[in-house]
Amino acid sequence: MSADPRGTHVTQTRAGWLFVSPALGLIGVFFVVPVVVGLLLSFTDFDIYALGDPSVARIVGVRNYAQIVSDREFWGALRNTLTFVLGGGPLSVLASLGAALLVNARLVRFKSVLRVALFSPVVTTLVAVAIVWRYLYHPHYGLIDFALRGLGLPAVDWLGDPHWAMPAIILFSVWKNFGYNMLIFVAGLQNIPEEQYEAARIDGAGGWARFRHITVPGLGPTFLLVGVLTMIGQFQLFAEPYVMTAGGPLRSTVSLILLMYEQGFRWWRLGYAAAIAFILLAIVLVATLVQMRLQRLERR
């Protein structure tokens, strides 16, 4: 209201808090409070009986955590999730890099169309395309096994065989997500000065040497960034197994979030499920810190 600097200061303070308060309020109530309550919940045995009568919920300390680490099912889910993160993550990053190199190649025509085409799986609805892939993976009628047989390779019962179900989900998720990191890599590639390549060419460096000594170091920071983002995303694996395999066969595709969902919303062991969520959070935090530490080492 006033042009006086001190007045502005007061108005700005008021306006500032006023402007951020709806967002802070919503985030506080629907994000911070649930996370804190979740932590508390994980120290109780809140379950189906407590849903009927809250007075029968008990505080049990770390019993849920102790039970989780002694539960084979949890270790199975952790193993499946890590397979997905450590197997699917690098594969997805490599696919993105390959696609980025192709799209960015000077000789390629119709770049913008291509970029959109390769990016389109990213924006599709996960549940819908997971259903599509379920049919593509069909051992008798699916296009994928049809193509394998056409190439003279043995057909695979992708989603029915416990050894192949997780690889099938990884393959699907690479298809679904590689476009995202591809874009980031393309931007990274464009930041590498063309002169470096020219100089290397004059020095007689071949294509592989140029890639190894200019492209890879040039993309260094991008790699780590992409790694962290991809990994955090991969830990949240849920809809793919829910829709494609329901966690089977033989529990080979149960992820941590799917386990949390089953324990929490199928068996209504909310305390136990909350503890699973916090173990997941701890793993994600540690993994993120490790990657950030690596990034710092890289910079030095």
8 to 47, contacts with another protein by CB under 8 A?
8-9, 11-13, 15-20, 22-24, 26-27, 30-35, 37-38, 41, 45, 47
Tell me which residues in 207-236 interact with another protein (CB under 8 A): 224-226, 228-229, 232, 235-236
Burial (CB count within 10 angstroms: exposed 0-12, middle 13-18, buried 19+), residue 266? exposed
Considering only residues 237 through 276, tell me which ones interact with another protein, judged by CB under 8 A.
238-239, 242-243, 246, 248-250, 257, 260-261, 264-268, 270, 273-274
Tell me the per-residue interface mask from 149 to 178 with another protein, x by CB under 8 A, - otherwise: --------x--xxx------------x---
Q: Rule CB under 8 A: choose which of 65, 146, 164, 197 binds another protein.
A: 146
Crossing angle (nearest 10°) for helices 33-41 and 270-299 = 120
- Cα 156 from Cα 140, distance rounded (Å): 10
Q: What's phi and psi for 44, nearest 5 deg?
A: -120, 170
CA 262 to chain centre: 20
Answer yes or no whether residue 191 interacts with another protein by CB under 8 A. no
**Who contacts 136 (Cβ-Cβ below 8 Å, separation ≥6)?**
142, 143, 144
Q: What's the half-sphere exposure (Cβ side, CA atoms, 13 Å) at 158?
A: 24
Helices 216-234 and 165-190 meet at what angle, rounded to 10?
Answer: 140
Interaction between residue 148 and another protein (CB under 8 A): no
100 binds another protein (CB under 8 A): no
Three-class DSSP category at 59: strand
**Contact between 66 and another protein (CB under 8 A)?**
no
Please state the closest distance from residue 67 (CB atom) to another protein, in A: 7
With binding defined as CB under 8 A, does residue 129 bind another protein? yes
DSSP label of 88: I
Q: Which of 69, 86, 116, 153 binds another protein (CB under 8 A)?
A: 116
Pick one of 82, 91, 114, 148: the residue that binds another protein (CB under 8 A): 114
